[in-house]
Amino acid sequence: NAGVTQTPKFRILKIGQSMTLQCTQDMNHNYMYWYRQDPGMGLKLIYYSVGAGITDKGEVPNGYNVSRSTTEDFPLRLELAAPSQTSVYFCASSQQGASTDTQYFGPGTRLTVL
Amino acid sequence: QKEVEQDPGPLSVPEGAIVSLNCTYSNSAFQYFMWYRQYSRKGPELLMYTYSSGNKEDGRFTAQVDKSSKYISLFIRDSQPSDSATYLCAMKGPDSNYQLIWGAGTKLIIKP
């Protein structure tokens, strides 16, 4: 059981470039999330998904897009990267309806936009 | 005012000390309270989960919720260098199926 995996681990982008952050979970969880974490700021929810084909905006969705075609995968797309998107990105999953609906996190992707 | 306030630290204590980590919140509807631990360059992992008020103990860790004061605490007894991490509080209300409200995290350093 690998849990939640994310690729790449690190990436440097130039302003205006685009990229996709990959996230896969093997726990058959229905809910998946994308967060960004800036120093001293906690976790901010970007997008979430309650199941394949269903996504919705979180607290800070501008500049990002997501899709969820399968239960396992939830990629995050950055279009026209900006320095304000320099952050650590975490993908997480949870099984709603479970007793604690614990969110399980991946190891993160460190993104720098120059 | 943020919905959840948490002192970012760092908090540095000697090995063996009792550690107290705290969060305050403003939304009286919050009923589910969690503490996540995050080691450097890793994702957060759930440490403690508490519903409503009261105490919950798990080994050296005790989570405490005081809803009347809108205040939650995590106590670590006999602290170890391996407890050095960032501790994030998170909480949610009964109507939220998914969205956790997070504190900023407190960086804890246990000195050998």
The alpha carbon of residue A15 is apart from the nearest alpha carbon of chain B, in Å, by 25
The alpha carbon of residue B44 is apart from the nearest alpha carbon of chain A, in Å, by 6
The neighbour count for residue B47, using CB atoms within 10 Å, is: 18
How do the pLDDT tens digits run along chain B, 112 residues long?
678 999 988 999 999 999 999 999 999 989 899 999 999 999 999 999 998 888 999 999 999 999 999 999 999 999 999 999 999 999 987 766 667 889 999 999 999 9
Say if A43 is an interface residue toward chain B (CB within 8 Å).
yes
* Residues in Cβ contact with A98 at an 8 Å cutoff, skipping those fewer than 6 apart: none
CB spacing of A40 vs B41 below 8 angstroms: no
CB spacing of B104 vs A107 below 8 angstroms: no
Question: Which residues are registered as beta bridge partners of B21?
Answer: B74
Chain A residues near residue B8 by CB distance under 8 angstroms: 40
Average pLDDT rounded to a whole number, residues A8-18: 96
* Residues in Cβ contact with B67 at an 8 Å cutoff, skipping those fewer than 6 apart: B28, B52, B53
Q: In this structure, are strands A109-113 and A10-13 parallel, antiparallel, or unpaired?
A: parallel
Nearest in space to B25 (alpha carbons), one of B51, B52, B6, B44:
B6
Are A55 and A76 in contact, with CB atoms under 8 Å apart? no
CB spacing of B97 vs A96 below 8 angstroms: yes
Say if A94 is an interface residue toward chain B (CB within 8 Å).
yes
Is the confidence at residue A96, as pLDDT, over 80?
no
Between the CA atoms of B3, B39, A32 and B65, what dihedral angle is there, to the nearest 10 degrees? -40
Tokens read off for A104: 């399980």
Per-residue model confidence (pLDDT) at position B63: 97
